[in-house]
Amino acid sequence: MKKNYFSFILIFNLFFLFGQSFDKKIEQLINENLDETIDLRHWFHENAELSNREFKTAARIAQVLKEIGYEPVTGVAKTGVVATLNPGKPGPVVGLRADIDGLPVKERANIPWASKMKGIYNGEEVPVMHACGHDMHTAILLTTAKILYEIKDKIPGQVKFIFQPAEEGAPPGEEGGAELMIKEGVLKNPDVDAIFGLHVWSGLYAGQVYLRPEGIMAAVNEFRIDLKGVQTHGSTPWTGRDPIVTAAQIVNSLQTIVSRSLPLTEAGAVVTIGSIHGGVRSNIIPEDLYMLGTIRTLDNNMKATVLERLEQIVYNVAESNNIEAKITYLVSYPITYNDPYLYEEILPTLERVNGEKNVHLMKAITGAEDFSYFQEKVPGTYFFIGGSKPDVDLSTVAPHHTPDFYVDDSAISTGIRSMVSLTIDYILEN
C-alpha cells in the first residue's frame, strides 16, 4: 500500500511539473539527441586513452559540458571532469557516474570508428581500445546531463555528473579512480545523497536491464609475486635455485584455496594467475621472475581467508625451495554493493520506463568495479544494460576486455532513459 501511495504521488508530481507525461517528454528529448550521442560515442571510442592519461577524452567532455551550459571542473583525480546541475539549489543531490578510460588491447572489430590509438603501459607502447564500453558510458552521461539541463528549472534539487578516470586501475605507483576522486572531495560541496552508475554488457540484449540488491560485483585484490633465486646453467640445476619450478608449484597450490579452503555454497570466489615473466633462454635458469594475479570474492570473510592462504602458500612454498618471495598488493576494490533500500525505491522507475518484462533480477558476478568506493560513502545502485542486437547469438559475442569486443549503439537509449528517470524520480521522492 505504501509503495502504491508513493507511486501515485510521484506520477502526480511528474504531471504537475511537466504538463505532459514525463516519460514521453524524456523519450522525445532522447530521440532529439540520439544522433549526437552516437557521434560522441564513436569519437570517444576512436580516441581511447589509458587510465590517468585520458587527456583528449577529458577535454572533449569539458567542451561538451560547456556547450550545454555547465561550468565543469577539470583535473579532478588527475583527468576527471565534474559538473553540477542547479548549483546551490535546495533539495536532494544525486550523483551520476561514468568511467572514461580504455584498455591496452588491439581492436579487431570491423567498424569505421575503430581505435588506432597508442599508449604507454608498463613501460611499453601498446594499442588502446575501449574494450569495456566506457566510451558508451561517457556519451550516455553527457546526453543525460544535456537533457536534465533542458528541464533544470523544474528539478527541485542538484545533480553532480562525475566523469571518472582510471576505473581499470591507475598505473603502478600512481593513485587514481573513484578512490582518489573521493579523497579529493567529489562527493562533497554539495554532499551527494545517492549515486547511480551503469555498465553496458555485450552478453545481454539491448533494451534489457539487469540488477540486484546487495552484492552485485565482486571485490578485487590484484597482486604481484616476486621470486628471487640463484641463476645457473640449465644443465646443472643443482648449482642454482630455481624460481621457475617454484612458480609452477605456487600456481598449482593457489588453485587449492578455492577448492579446499572456502565454503563455496555461500558465495563465489576466484584466484587467477594471469601473467608470468622470467627467463630468456632454454638453457638458463633465471635469477628471478614475477607473476601477476587477481582475487575475486563476494564475501568479506572469504576474502580474508583467501588473502591469508595466499601468503601462507607463497612464502612456505618459496621457503621449501630456498627461494626469496615477496607479495605486493596492487589494485584493491571493495564489493560493489547496491543499497537494498535504494534498490527497492528505484526498481519501480526502471520497470516503468523500460518495461517490467525488460528488467531482470541477476545473480552476482565475479567482475569488479571501483564504483564500489562511492557506495561505501553514500547509498548507491549499479546496474547493467544490454549491448547486443536482438538477432545476435549471444554465445558468439566477444567478452569484455578482448580485441573483438563490441556493443551496439542501440543500447544507448536504455542508458539515457534509465539515468534521467532515476535522477528525477529520486529527487521528487526525497
Domains contained in the chain, CATH given: 2-217+336-429 (3.40.630.10), 219-333 (3.30.70.360)
* Mean confidence (pLDDT) of the chain: 95
Q: Give the pairing of strands 219-228 and 288-297.
A: antiparallel
Grid coordinates representing 46 are 576512436
Task: For residues 198-219, give the mean pLDDT.
Answer: 97
Note the pLDDT of residue 23.
Answer: 85
How confident is the model over 304-348, as pLDDT tens digits?
Answer: 999 999 999 999 999 999 999 999 998 889 999 999 999 999 999
> How far is it, in rounded angstroms, from Cα 226 to Cα 243?
9
pTM metric for this prediction: 0.89
Residues 6+ apart with CB under 8 A from 252: none
> How far is it, in rounded angstroms, from Cα 228 to Cα 281?
17
Q: Any long-range contacts for 325-330 (C-beta under 8 Å, 24+ apart)?
A: 325/225, 325/226, 325/227, 325/228, 326/225, 326/226, 326/228, 327/223, 327/224, 327/225, 327/226, 328/223, 328/224, 328/226, 329/221, 329/222, 329/223, 330/169, 330/172, 330/222, 330/223, 330/224, 330/292
* Element (DSSP H or E) covering residue 237: none
Contact, 362 vs 383, CB < 8 A? no
* Element (DSSP H or E) covering residue 89: none
How confident is the model over 256-289, as pLDDT tens digits?
Answer: 999 999 999 999 999 999 999 999 999 999 999 9
% of the chain with per-residue pLDDT over 90:
92
Note the pLDDT of residue 1.
Answer: 39
